[in-house]
Amino acid sequence: MNAAPTTHPADVPLARVEDARLLTGRGCYVHDVSLPGMLHAVFVRSVYPRARIVSMDASGASSVEGFVAIVTGHDIDGLTLPPPNDLLQSLRAEPTPLMPTQAIRSVGQPLALVLARSAEAARQAADAVWFDCEAEPSQNDLADGAPVVARVRHHTGDAPTVGATVVRAVQQQPRVAAMALEPRAAVLRWDEATGQLDAWLPTQAPSRARANIAQLLNLPAERVRVIAPDVGGAFGAKSSLGPEELVLAWAARTYRCALKWTATRSEEFTSGVHGRGAHLQGELALDAQGRFMHLGARLRFPVGAWLPFSAVAPARNTARILPGPYRVGGVDIAAQVETSDAAAVTIYRGAGRPEATLLMERLVERAARHLGLDPLELRRRNLIEADQMPWATPTGEVLDAGDYRAVLERAAQAFGYEAERAEQVRRRAAGEWVGLGTALYIEPCGQGWESARVSLLADGTVEVASGSSAQGQGHETSYATIAAAALGCEPARVRVRHGDTAHCPEGIGALASRSMAIGGSAVLLAAQEAARRRDAGEALPIMAEQVYTAPAEAWSYGCVMARMAIDADTGKPRVERIVWADDAGQIVSPQLAEGQLLGGLAQGLGQALFERLVYDADGQLVTGSLMDYAMPRADDMPPVELRSQHVPTNANALGAKGVGEAGCIGVPAALLNAAADALSPRGEPELDFPLTAERLWRAMPTHHSPLKP
């Protein structure tokens, strides 16, 4: 094997990350890890959405200089993906082979793994592998009769039959891609002497990744080490291991070698996991005073050809979050999870929270317009009040605390709502298409358990080891701040470790807006215990460990208001202003919290205006590159005003609520409402994301006479 330079494969990612290190190019991502003599891996992938494998010819691959081996489904027959999380008791999912021996289910599905002594040789060898397949009819997302793998329903009352005003809304969400800074990658090393597998993976859940690999290889968990170095963004897409990482783990052990795989951006589009894609349909019944009587919703969630660990989470969350921050007499909410012949769908920043907010807020806006009420006034009449907390929702959830009216009024005051409405009248009279949109949201966050270990060392420094991990949120800074405050020392004396199962306690990981609420609470309690033992005179070093389980789930919330203008000639939308009031509870680092809010806002803006993955009628992905898939740029960001209130929760020890996903929850709904409001003088067509210039132009009337107020 050819020797390769070694790049700090284990120790550097454990150190507390300083922002300057990443900004100056001194970060260590998975692709930066190189091991002596490692092989390079490339997958041969299906070009069919559904087909049957007839035969394979790998003779051309074996003639490539540097070729080492090829692995097919027959070599690993019987090995399957880990089962998905059974968040829904109705879940019925068949085991999914890591690679098929006969049945192909989606474009991009891995059919074979090629190993070679160089990356170029691996690519050439993979290109020389041929599969003879017979194409079969494919099943697209949300097609009639799609196989259902899970259902959930909340029914607390029937819809009124007389005396009610009923409004309806339908929303088809496009699939989107997470587009992390670094695509999926893996470096794996089998140590024959110790019988241990080391795996460098950009994962949000190192402990679960270790458990999945250990189970696949029938190894004790302590003989698998997972290291998550600088991840460069994940957004839910790196919460589960896919077939590629598990096949690579098998190959590293089978061939007693080290190997590296880095997905291309094109591979990420076709075979990486996607987000969103749900079909939402709802109806809201109101009485003569505008009180919400009943909410009905039918929700369909495609999950593609295989189920990642959290595949059913978006459906579960959407169904349980509705009807949001409002009082409703009864609900009939049904959601189902369906498979299709396409890439898998998993949690994506928000994971069901944006879907619930989008449907409910569209219904509220339509109801206000139908009744001739101001949208804010209709919301005021139906909000759950602060003195009614904790509030038991009709779907069986308990909202721990919140002042939804206060956050609405804070946003309205900062937005200058009445003045904005008056200015809208003036601009419409001048022929402009301009709309105002509002969205209130609630967000479940911080549930379950997490671990931490705080060590007071003899040299006066402190080490915090977390069972959680980080993908760029700044947990190193926040966890150091929490520990330093409890210990009465400077944060600079605290070193934070995370993402390495050999040096950190077992944990759940960073997902579902739980890191600060649960992971931070574990750090706080461990640091407090260490401080008590120090104060009692215990000699250094002192090591305090904490496994913290939150007594309840925290719920953050907020209100987004937006102004959008639509060009009369081209339909191009321009978001002129966003005002956002939120409540994320106890804030450890205001600067990092603001960064999370703005980062989520940027992704919410992308979903609303730009991003869409499209499959054609034959099941081929036609938006398979950044030439076809649009993303927001810096100059697309509108002026943003944040008006936060921070009311601590009793649902966890730190008093924190989620903040990282909020921008993907409230912003898209507010922008959709703004676009609909802009078009409302000529009627209100159904609008789907993304709100492109073409889509809005087609929704406008053919003549552009001055608009009436």
Span 78-120, pLDDT tens digits = 899 999 999 998 999 899 999 999 999 999 999 999 999 999 9
Q: H or E element: which one contains 313?
A: helix 313-321
Span 469-522, pLDDT tens digits = 888 888 899 999 999 999 999 999 999 999 999 999 999 998 888 899 999 999
pLDDT category at 581 given cuts 50, 70, 90 is very high
Residue 97 forms beta bridges with which residues? 80
CA dist 583 and 647 (Å) reads: 7
Composition of the chain by helix, strand, coil, percent to 5:
30, 25, 45
Residue 151 forms beta bridges with which residues? 336
- Has residue 377 got a pLDDT over 70? yes
CA dist 277 and 235 (Å) reads: 16
CA nearest 322: which of 441, 406, 430? Answer: 441
CA nearest 445: which of 341, 550, 581? Answer: 550
How far does Cα 695 stand from its chain's mean position?
26
- Has residue 700 got a pLDDT over 90? no
| C-alpha distances out from residue 475 to 16, 35, 218, Å | 9, 28, 33
Task: Return the structure tokens found at 541.
Answer: 């070093």
Q: Give pLDDT, residue 685.
A: 81
pTM for the model = 0.93
Percent residues over pLDDT 90 in the chain: 85
- Has residue 408 got a pLDDT over 70? yes
Least confident of 129-133, 318-322, 456-460, 646-650: 646-650
User: ∠23-25-31 over CA atoms, to 5°?
Assistant: 125
CA dist 383 and 442 (Å) reads: 12
Domain 275-446+553-699 indexed as CATH 3.40.50.300: no
- Has residue 563 got a pLDDT over 70? yes
Task: Return the structure tokens found at 552.
Answer: 């309840």
pLDDT (average), residues 374-386: 98
pLDDT (average), residues 308-333: 97
Architecture in CATH of 12-137+181-233+238-271: Alpha-Beta Complex (3.90)
Equal fold, 275-446+553-699 vs 449-549: yes
Domain boundaries, the chain: 12-137+181-233+238-271, 275-446+553-699, 449-549
- Where do the DSSP E strands lie in 146-302? 148-155, 165-172, 175-176, 185-191, 196-200, 224-227, 258-262, 275-276, 279-286, 292-302
pLDDT category at 567 given cuts 50, 70, 90 is very high
**Hey, what CATH topology would domain 449-549 get?**
Aldehyde Oxidoreductase; domain 4 (3.30.365)
- Has residue 172 got a pLDDT over 90? yes
How far does Cα 216 stand from its chain's mean position?
26
- Where do the DSSP E strands lie in 446-478? 449-456, 462-466
Burial category of 28 from C-beta neighbours within 10 Å (exposed 0-12, middle 13-18, buried 19 and up):
buried
Q: Tokens 């210039």 appear where?
A: 693
CA dist 5 and 19 (Å) reads: 26
| C-alpha distances out from residue 651 to 386, 521, 554, 657, 682, Å | 16, 11, 5, 9, 47
User: ∠307-310-315 over CA atoms, to 5°?
Assistant: 95
- Has residue 15 got a pLDDT over 60? no
Q: Give pLDDT, residue 284.
A: 98
pLDDT (average), residues 266-270: 95
- Has residue 9 got a pLDDT over 60? no
What is the three-state SS of 407-432?
HHHHHHHHHCHHHHHHHHHHHHHCCC
Span 424-482, pLDDT tens digits = 999 999 999 999 999 999 999 988 999 999 999 999 999 999 999 888 888 899 999 99
Q: Give pLDDT, residue 682.
A: 81
Instruction: Judge contact between 412 and 561, C-beta under 8 A.
Output: yes
Q: Within 10 Å of residue 47's Cβ, how many Cβ atoms?
A: 15
CA dist 106 and 140 (Å) reads: 10
Q: Give pLDDT, residue 607.
A: 96
Q: Give pLDDT, residue 1.
A: 32
